[in-house]
Structure 1
Amino acid sequence: MQASQTPTPPDRTNRAWSRILRYGLVLWGATVLVTFVTGNTNLLPTIVLLGSFLVPVTFVAWAYEHARGDNVTVELLFSAFVIAGVLGVLGASLLERLLGPSPAMFIGIGVIEEGAKVAALVFVARSMAHRTPRDGLVLGATVGFGFAAFESAGYALNALVTERGLSLIALVETEILRGLLTPLGHGLWTAIVGCVLFAASAGRKWRVTLGVVATFVGVSLLHALWDSAHVIAFRLTMLLTSQPWQERLMRTGRVPELTPAQTHLITLMDWVGLAAISALGVLWLLRLWGRHSGRGNRSGPRDERPRDNENPPDIDDT
């Protein structure tokens, strides 16, 4: 009888994130199809919202199911996604107005957007009495995905409105592309910073260690490389394959017309660059997860009794 009273672990086979993705894709696809058939523009906001939020919400649900700690509640996740996501977008938009066109512009954008997301993360988690690296990973990913969702909605709206009127095809293409790339961008980078920041700030007081600073600089550089991947691919292609007439145009500050072979090469280099940047980010996160996954992930009273050969956690992981 005693065994029957033992609490059973949560059923991991009941994956909410999988249902969210499946049902969301069906609803988004149905809405796109009906809009194509009927031309009903009242459905366009539904396409924008479903397409922009489906992947971020799915990955937040996945992170919560696979890496949650007792300190992260559904209410806190909602606040991190919506409040921090909006605050991050607003802060980044205001600060990015200060940047001028220059080779360092992408670095500035990376620092500003990552800084805005970290500030929003700290704001949402300010009342947590106890923080673990896993909490930082989940909340950081949630803030990043919230930022990505609202940003993607803006990009989708811009793609919809063209000089020739509303373009449903451009809207759908933009949402598909950003949906595929979203898991490897904002959510990944802020999860890395959140994990290291929370590892250094287990109590109520926030601590900015050398490891935290180095991590922030690292993800900001990944962000800058991601944003500049197309420009880098263009310049490399011109360096390797440019014709004399193209070089003359570039010296005058004009962008030359590309040959079909050059267009394909730029696309290939662009995707290879994004894949390499994504691999670096994923490997970095996996390294942090492997290092911190076994450390205190429970809230509430902790056993303060000293244990033999117990060392304090390394809070300066980068």
Structure 2
Amino acid sequence: MIVWPRVFLIGLVLWLATVVVTGWTRNSNLVPTVVLFGSFLVPVTFVVWAYERGTKRRPATEPGMSTPRVTVELMFMAFVVGGVLGVLGASLLESWLVRPSILMYVLVGLIEEGVKLAALMFVTRRMTARSTMDGVILGATVGFGFAAFESAGYAFNALFTADGLALTQLVETEVLRGVLTPVGHGLWTAIAGGALFAAGGRLKRSVVLTYLGVSLLHALWDSMSAIAIAITLVLTGRAWQFELLRIGRVPHVTEWQVHVYTLVNWAGLLAISLVALAWLGVAVRAGRRERGILSQ
């Protein structure tokens, strides 16, 4: 029986009920429930989906083995331990190394993809048999764990405004991050995990190149808003706006420029997502060919 739709629907109903009751009663004790349900719903659903899809499309064990390589316990460890280690590692390294600059987004991409890959290596260090598909599934699990804990932090911060607690802003943040989660951290770490396991868990040249590639996608994703602003100004900027920028002042923007910025921003995010999905598709097909060879 397919479980992931039930996980999503039950979680969604509970989250919506919690939001409504919290807004109706103004009970701040319910805010953590809103934050946790909204942040974990989509990541957990996709982990369940990946597990179900993976176990149905590949043998759970190698010939001669009686226990599955990817167990529920291992996926739980990858999601929770891997996700928390990734968030903690990224927070420490970014506080030490990242400063406002043109390279800021590149450094963030390198750090976050690096700590997630390191977390994956840690939680799977005792695995004796590995396949590309195992790496894709476990990599996605670590990535979704990272995304869930990171989203909880963003949602918590969105709650506080100058006018007090803003439940609407919290919900908007969770909805937006929930929509974008499937093509973010989980996708990038799935690609890196597949490359790592295809290399037998060792940091070969192919793994390093894959790590650099997903870090670049991550950097482009994070910087897309700034890129969209620059493209909008190049395409529609007026002389007086450039003059204000030259003297260090922020110019007002026209309604048309807002529309152009929105279009460019979302088109860029879509393009990055399609590249990452195509890359993951190549890794999955390689994993299926690998499985076919092993089963012969």
Measured against the shorter chain, the TM-score band is over 0.9
Match of 2:12 in 1: 25
Matched letter for residue 149 of structure 1: A
1:188 correspondence with 2:187: yes
| 1:244 aligns with one of 209, 234, 239 | 239
Q: Deviation per CA, 1:213-258, whole angstroms, max 9, x where unpaired?
A: 1111110000000000000000111111112221122112333222
Q: Post-superposition shift, 1:296? A: 3.8
Gaps of at least 5 residues in structure 2 are 61-67
**More helix per residue:** 2
Query: Following TM superposition, by how much is the alpha carbon of 1:140 offset from its aligned partner in structure 2, in angstroms?
Result: 0.1
Q: Distance in 2 between matches of 1:66 and 1:103?
A: 40
CA distance in 2 between partners of 1:233 and 1:101 (Å): 18
Partners of 1:235 and 1:241 lie apart in 2 by 10
Q: Quote the offset at 1:293 in angstroms.
A: 1.6
Quote the Cα distance in structure 2 between the aligned partners of 1:77 and 1:37.
37
Residue among 71, 74, 86 paired with 2:72 = 74
Q: Which amino acid aligns with 1:87?
A: L
Structure 1 position 34, deviation (Å): 1.2
Amino acid at match of 1:54: L
Q: Within 2, Cα distance between the matches of 1:264 and 1:185?
A: 24
Comparing 128-137 with 147-156, which one deviates more in the overlay?
Answer: 128-137
CA distance in 1, matches of 2:291, 2:255: 56
Percent identity, aligned pairs only, is 58
- TM-aligned CA deviation for residue 164 of structure 1: 1.2
- Map residues 98-177 of structure 1 onto 2, 5 A cutoff: 98-177=97-176
Q: Could you tell me which residue of structure 2 aligns to residue 209 of structure 1?
A: 204
- Larger CA deviation: 254-263 vs 164-173: 254-263
**Alignment RMSD:** 1.6
- CA–CA distance in structure 2, aligned partners of residues 252 and 136 of structure 1: 51
Q: What are the superposed Cα offsets for residues 178-201 of structure 1, whole Å, 9 maximum, x if unpaired?
A: 000000000000000000110111
For the Cα contact (< 8 Å) 2:132–2:286, is it kept in 1?
no
Secondary structure of the residue aligned to 1:293 is helix
Contact map agreement 2:46 2:182 (CA 8 A) in 1: yes
Partner of 2:269: 274
Asked if 1:255 is matched to 2:250, the reply is yes
Query: Which of 33, 38, 41 matches 1:51?
Result: 38
Matched residue, 1:310: none
- Equivalent residue number for residue 7 of structure 1: none
1:65 to 31, 44, 52: 52
Aligned equivalent of 1:34: 21
Deviation above 3 Å: which 4+ runs of structure 1? none
Aligned length: 284
